[in-house]
Chain A
């Protein structure tokens, strides 16, 4: 149901601001801010994935760093084998091309999310949170102790993976790739939300018993939602690996799972552009206050606590008011 309201205006403003910021930085020859905008866009993309599970399906996953890390490792491992000229795992040849890497990252992180989801969705509530966190921690320790791809030391990507027709080593061109991926993911999120599947997913959150009574088993709907969610976050991980040209177990650390939830809360749970607003707020907070004091995380904790206790609905909720989607 298309309607032009305050939220739509705000979304358009956010999309344009994220596009304009690096262009201004380019004009002023400040490449640091291009990289910063790229980081915001990648974190927003990861959070769009989580928003599908958390915002629409009500599945509070505290383990999405796992899919982020898997996407990152797919990019790192493929690039490593392409650079070394050695065959990759299972004899798959390495590649330095983003498009096949993205496909692999999304498929593998989606499949892992489906397996973890199938186990975790046997429970709900507090159990679900603890189990997703625990499985992510398992993959973290595996990455840490598996020696083939750097283990604790991580794996460098010597040459940023390529995109047909672009020079991804130029920060602005890489930003363009990331930006388009983000907007496509937001488009997919919007399409899913308006679809029959999205309606079923939201119903599974609000009233699983009624959904079951209508002839749709909540488990299957939620599992598919969770797998798609993991795949999108995995794509973000592959892009982050290319941004930093380095993957390490830190990409799977539990703190990142927490940060993704924080991004969604700051922007507004279930909102289309909530992840963009939230990622910009979080990264902006880090840059502004991290420059002033090394203890900026204390400040972040206090702000976060106040937001949870007193300002529910996030930035978009505060600016655009309540929305129709429950």
Chain B
């Protein structure tokens, strides 16, 4: 176990955290502003990945695919907001869960019908293949760019929410929906914009991950559930909490999978240590979530502390 390997795993954890952040940011905004639980957020991630892979293969251009994937997810998000989700804001959470579960079934089977049941291939862009020498360790250029994307999105969200008129409306929407409607803000349009923004980020995450994992049906839900863990840890409705929670979950999960089997190898025979270590590592972030729930039930960085 060398230092270079540890640094590589740390960066992998941060990179994974950035993907979770892109998912969790949209989810937490939609929770915060509309009070809606959207299980179909993982479907938007999947749509982003599939459209990106299809367009990139057709045009031979990764970046065009990325833009198309993000746009397709945003448009799909706006469409389902206007046709379905809009009717659910006043309903209880059970109805929201069921309707968005139904949307998952529709999106999953719809994607299978359009793209076929087999995974699509999405290659890395030419400019981001190979590794970068970071001095202490070489690291994948693409994964490093992915971390950079996450930082840019975080900065962008911070600017939009903190410094623009739209951001003021979003924050006001979180605080008091009825009041900002009374003040003349078109709340329906605001909701659609917020939802499309979150959907676009999910699509971006899916498209970016598609180049390092396979683009397949059902790829979104495991990430969605991890994004839920992130939000529980970070605090609902808080973009800052989503960022810190995502990095925490990404690093702890990745390092746990890397270190625990090696730690158990010191006290157990090698074949058992792998199994025990891997099984316990897969539970680590949920244990973290349980600890946060016991100590800080509203999350580490609640929006309205």
Structural contact, B104 and A295, CB atoms closer than 8 A: no
Considering the chains assembled together, what is the distance between the CA atoms of A211 and B97 in angstroms?
A: 27
Residue contact A300 to B105, C-beta cutoff 8 Å? yes
Q: How far is the CA of A278 from the CA of B55 in the complex (A)?
A: 42
Q: Is B225 an interface residue (CB 8 A)?
A: yes
With A125-B93, A302-B102, A308-B95 in contact, do A254 and B225 touch (Cβ < 8 Å)? yes
Q: How far is the CB of B83 from chain A (nearest CB, A)?
A: 10
Q: Chain B residues near A148 (CB, 8 Å)?
A: 275
- The answer on a CB contact under 8 Å between A133 and B113 is no
* Complex CA–CA separation, A268 to B222 (angstroms): 29
Candidates A60, A125, A134, A144; contact of B229 at CB < 8 Å: A134
- Chain B interface residue count, CB cutoff 8 Å, equals 43
A131 and B293 contact, Cβ closer than 8 Å, known pairs A137-B225, A297-B109, A301-B109: yes
Cα separation A173 to B39 with both chains bound (whole Å)? 40
**A130 nearest CB neighbor, chain B only:** B228
Q: Which residues of B contact A261 (CB under 8 A)?
A: 94, 97-98, 101
B125 adjacent to chain A (CB < 8 Å) = no
| A304 and B95 alpha carbons, distance in the complex (Å) | 11
Flag whether B278 is at the interface (Cβ < 8 A): yes
For B102, give its contact among A120, A133, A141, A301 (CB under 8 Å). Answer: A301
A59 to B98 CA separation, bound complex (whole angstroms): 14
Query: A269's closest neighbor in chain B, by CB?
Result: B94
Query: A54, A131, A305: which contacts B232 (Cβ < 8 A)?
Result: A131
A254 touches B110 (CB 8 A): no
Does A262 make an interface contact (CB < 8 A)? Answer: yes
Q: Are B289 and A131 in contact (CB under 8 A)?
A: yes
Q: From residue 101 to 125 of chain B, which have CB atoms closer than 8 A to chain A?
A: 101-106, 108-110, 112-113
Q: Which of B21-41 contact A (CB under 8 A)?
A: 31, 35, 37, 39
Contacts of A301 in B (CB 8 A): 102-106, 109
Counting chain A residues whose Cβ lies within 8 A of the other chain, the interface size class is 35 or more
**Cross-chain contact B93 with A129 (CB below 8 angstroms):** yes
Bound together, the chains give a CA A57 to CA B223 distance in angstroms of 29
Among A129, A144, A254, the residue within 8 A (CB) of B282 is A144
B263-293 contacts to A (CB < 8 Å): 275, 278-279, 282-283, 286, 289-290, 293
- Give the interface centre of B39, B109, B283 by most chain A CB atoms within 10 Å: B109
- CB within 8 Å of B: which of A58-111? 60, 62
**B97 touching A62 by the CB < 8 A rule?**
yes
B→A interface (CB under 8 Å): 31, 35, 37, 39, 84, 87-88, 93-95, 97-99, 101-106, 108-110, 112-113, 221-222, 225, 228-229, 231-232, 236, 275, 278-279, 282-283, 286, 289-290, 293-294, 297
Question: What residues of chain A have their CB less than 8 Å away from a CB belonging to chain B?
Answer: 54, 60, 62, 119-120, 122-123, 125-127, 129-131, 133-135, 137-138, 141-142, 144-148, 151, 254, 258, 261-262, 265, 269, 295, 297-298, 300-302, 304-305, 308-309, 312
Please name 9 pairs of A and B residues whose Cβ atoms are closer than 8 Å in the assembled complex, sorted by A. A127-B232, A129-B93, A134-B289, A138-B286, A258-B101, A295-B113, A297-B108, A304-B105, A305-B103
Apart from A258-B39, A298-B109, A308-B102, list 13 A-B contacts with CB within 8 A.
A122-B297, A126-B35, A126-B93, A127-B236, A130-B229, A133-B225, A141-B283, A145-B278, A295-B109, A297-B109, A298-B105, A298-B110, A305-B103
